[in-house]
Structures are given as C-alpha cells and as structure tokens.
Amino acid sequence: MARDGTRPRRPAVLAVDAGNSKADALLVDRTGRVAGAARTLGQSNVGRAGGSVEPLSDVIAAAAMDAGLDHRVGSLAPVGVYCLAGADFRADERRIERSLAERGWTRRNVIRNDTFAVLRAGTDRGWGVAVVCGAGMNCMGVGPSGRTVRFPALGPLSGDIAAGGEWAGLAALGAAIRARDGRGPRTALESAVARHFGSATPEAVMKAMYRGRLSMERLVELPPVVFEAARAGDDVARRILDRVADEVVAIVSATIRRLRVQRTDVDVILGGGMFQAGDPTFFGRARDGVLTLAPRATVRALAAPPIMGAALLGLDEIGASKRAATALRDDMNGVSLVAIEPGRAAASADAAAPAGRR
C-alpha cells in the first residue's frame, strides 16, 4: 500500500543505498509512490566484500516483503539503482555488475558510488558537490558541463586523513588512552569511551580490540560520544571534530577547484551521519571553510535520507516525469526506515514462502 493509502503500481525501480554501517532499499513505481522500504544495520560496503552483493540481500528481501513481493521469484523491478560505498572504480562497478546479474533482483542495473545518491537527494539542478561523511568519507562533484570529479576513498592508501566516523572513533580511543597514561591532556573521553563499551578504562577497550574480543568496527559507535563531550565543552573532543570538518573542507575545496566553479552558486550537499548529529559548530566550521573559497556556494546538510536520491536517479533512468520526482519527495515524508536485525528478513521470507518455492 502506498503511503497515501492507495495501492501503488508494480515497482519500476529498486533503489539501494549502502555504506559502512547500514543499507537502505526502496521499491518505487513510475509515479513516484513508494511500494516498499527497509533498512538494515551493519557493514554493507561492497568494496570490503570484494564486490559481492551478499551484504545487500537482507535489505532487499525486507523491502520486497514490505511491498508484498517475493524477492526470490523473478526480478523485483525493471531498473535497479545501486548507490554503494566501495563502488569507486570502473573495475569495482564491473565486478558488482556481475554479482548483481547473478542475483537477478532487477533486469537492468545502474551502479553508482553512494555520493551520487547524496547529490541527487540534495539538489534537482543536476550538478553540484556532494560529501558523504559517515563511518568513512567520500566526495564527488559534477560541473555545469557534466564533467565529474571523484576520489578513490581508500583510507590512508589514497591520502585520506580524518575521514569520517571511524577515524573519529579511533582518535577518541587514542585520546582517552593518552589522557590516562599522561601523554595527552585530560579529557572527558577518558571515562566516556570506557563507559560506552562497558569497560573500566580505555586501556581495557584497547586490549579487548587487540585480542579480538571486541571488533574494531565498533569504533564507528563513538562519534556520538565525541559530539556529546564536545558540546559539553571538552577541548580534545572538539579538536577531533574540527579535524574531520577541516577534511570535509579540503575535499570539497579540491573538488570545486577541479571543476572551476569557485565563482558560481554551486550547491554543496553534506550528507552522512556526522552531519546528522545536529552540531552547529561542526557544520559551521565546514560551511565557513567552503565559503572562504566559493562565497556564492549554497552549503547545506542533507535532511532527506540518501536512499531517496538513489530512487530519484532511478526515476531519471526510466524517464519519469518531474511530477513523479515531486511525488516521491512527498511520499518519503511518510516512510519510516526502521532497522531490522541482520538475517531476519531473509529468514522471514523463507518461512512465509510455499514449500515448493523455497
């Protein structure tokens, strides 16, 4: 059932937005109505999965269930738009395309980096600059002529510094340990980091990660702890966030220069969990740094979920009307992306299917 209470048509687009900490999926008909929606939490970066799309199975199964469809019987939609962290090079896209073809979720597959979803969700102009600053960080830009600028986003290997929430979490743990052993200034992170993981000291957290009892991927849980400490006046926490904001400025500025749009009214869309924290100091530092280079730019944090941008790209692909894009933006106001437990959707689908179709 569509969000306005009417029955949507057969889905025309399957949209997927997946990153380091979550995956979202929408099934949308060609009028822009949402037929099914889902979110799963967990590592969904297809680059880290070697190009395999297995991390997307749960969220697609859940979206199909929400739409009343069986994700294992035929394709769910004619076009699939997959905006994915880890789709950084043409070789990545080819590898992902082969994996998607084996799954058969959609008849035609469009593969983009997740930054494309942020840009499309944030502006209808068709050009601008978009940043994803969540667990990791990436940026892309499209100029008025259609020229595109992208970055590899491979961490330190590609020159990334202070790149998002994973880095902020690692910096927070390091700052807590240094405060404890005397190498660094005192900080509220010393107790806050340990408390978050239910440990007595930050050293106990470090040892648990070193010995494999605690996954280092859980460092991505710490940015809210850093934001809380910074808002309470902790200088060490604020400096961690300042470094992330400065890296946003650096990557956006490089993109603007390469596109030669310093003197234009370029839209700069800041997406990802770090910009959903509601910290005006963090956002202001990033915004002011960009405006120093491009004073006519419009810099804003993305309010809509990036998955909407992936779905809009899908509507563009099928030649849907502008009215459909408007309808989708309106319909998204009624969509609740409540996370499901990993594996639950697929298990539920197996349980619900007739025996002969399992």
- All structural domains of the chain with their residue ranges: 13-121+305-357, 124-162+241-301, 165-232
Highest mean pLDDT among 2-16, 157-171, 338-352: 157-171
Q: Kindly tell me if the per-residue pLDDT of 45 is higher than 90.
A: no
- Can you give the pLDDT at residue 335? 81
- Please state whether beta strands 22-28 and 13-18 pair in parallel, antiparallel, or not at all (unpaired): antiparallel
Model confidence at 344, pLDDT cuts 50, 70, 90, reads low
CB 15 within 8 A of CB 79: no
- Tokens in use for 266? 């370029």
Higher-pLDDT residue of 21 and 217 is: 217
Report which DSSP code applies to 239.
Answer: H
Identical topology for domains 13-121+305-357 and 124-162+241-301 = yes
The answer as to CATH 3.30.420.40 being correct for domain 13-121+305-357 is yes
In degrees, rounded to 5, the angle at the alpha carbon of residue 341 between the alpha carbons of residues 338 and 344 is 110
Q: Kindly tell me if the per-residue pLDDT of 181 is higher than 90.
A: yes
* pLDDT tens by residue, 314-337: 999 999 999 999 999 999 987 877
CB 230 within 8 A of CB 279: yes
Task: Tell me the one-letter amino acid at 322.
Answer: K
**CATH H-level, domain 124-162+241-301: superfamily:** ATPase, nucleotide binding domain (3.30.420.40)
- Tokens in use for 319? 């030649």
How far CA 175 is from CA of 112, 200, 205, 246, in Å, comes to 36, 16, 13, 19
Model confidence at 299, pLDDT cuts 50, 70, 90, reads very high
